A = this chain, B = another copy of it.
Amino acid sequence: MNLGCLYGVGVGTGNPELITLKALRILQTVSVVAYPASEDGNSFARSIVAEFLQSNQIEVPIVLPFKLEKSAQAFYNKAAEELAVHLSGGKDVAVLCEGDPFFYGSFMYIFNRLSQRFTTEVIPGISSVMASAAMIGVPLTYRNDVFMVLSGILSEEVLREKLQVADAAVIIKLGRNFRKVKQVLQELGLVERAKYIEYATMENQRVLSINEVEVETVPYFSLIVIPSQLKELGVWS
């Protein structure tokens, strides 16, 4: 019997219209759809594409406890084995991934466990980096800008050091790190230039200046965009 194909499908940032035609085609033809889910069964990735799923598809939630710390390996091992049974039985499996599967994506943990055993294809998705700049309405990078993506989890020292060598940047994983990140932006004189966005492309999207953000309630789905200052000043003059 032929083995099934494993697909890592980027489903973008929340607006269902921002999935690709290829993602839609794969989603509607596979036998099995898997997705990260919380312990209560909710899955943001699934919610994005819910309208496109077929009633005869097998759904496999990949449940990760909210506080997993050192134990995620075991959960991904278990999920991979469950998917391997379907793939071995000849069923194609699509694993949904918010944003892009290979860009800070959760699909990579499944990929690393199964791609040696099964034909695997990754369908790139719209990343929150690009979606956020589009929603804020500000060009992110021009020409030969040095662009950087940084995690808010990094220390103040590291954030300061890295930001100083970038022409434009996006800072992800804010949440409880927002206060620290804001401190660094203040030190570097970037507060005016930076923009904050939460729930980009979703109905509850908000774009705020750094000083407008309620520091205590920054959600996981938020980031800070520091756009290029290049514009066209001097470039072609």
The chain A residues found within 8 Å of chain B, CB to CB, are 8, 10, 12, 15-22, 24-25, 70-73, 100-105, 108-109, 111-112, 115, 120, 122-127, 129-131, 133-135, 137-151, 153-154, 161-162, 165-166, 173, 231-232, 236-237
Residues of chain B lying within 8 A (CB to CB) of residue A104: 141-143, 145
Q: Which residue of B lies closest to A147 (CB)?
A: B149
Copy number in this complex? 2
Residues of chain B lying within 8 A (CB to CB) of residue A142: 104, 108
B124 x A124 contact (CB < 8 A): no
3 nearest A-B residue pairs (beta carbon): A17-B22, A122-B134, A144-B151
Q: Which residue of B lies closest to A170 (CB)?
A: B147
A130 x B103 contact (CB < 8 A): yes
Residues of chain B lying within 8 A (CB to CB) of residue A25: 17
The complex places the Cα of A161 from the Cα of B188 at a distance, in Å, of 20
CB distance from A49 to the nearest CB of B (A): 11
Given contacts A72-B236, A139-B108, A173-B144, contact A101 B134 (CB under 8 A): yes
A103 CB contact (under 8 Å) in B101, B141, B151? B141
- 28 example contacts (A-B, Cβ-Cβ < 8 A) are as follows A17-B25, A18-B20, A18-B124, A19-B21, A20-B21, A21-B21, A73-B236, A102-B133, A102-B138, A102-B141, A105-B139, A108-B139, A112-B139, A112-B231, A115-B137, A120-B137, A123-B134, A125-B126, A125-B130, A127-B130, A144-B154, A145-B151, A146-B150, A146-B151, A146-B162, A147-B148, A148-B149, A165-B165
Q: Which of A144, A150, A231 has its CB near the most chain B CB atoms (within 10 A)?
A: A144
The complex places the Cα of A8 from the Cα of B165 at a distance, in Å, of 29
A236 CB contact (under 8 Å) in B24, B70, B165? B70
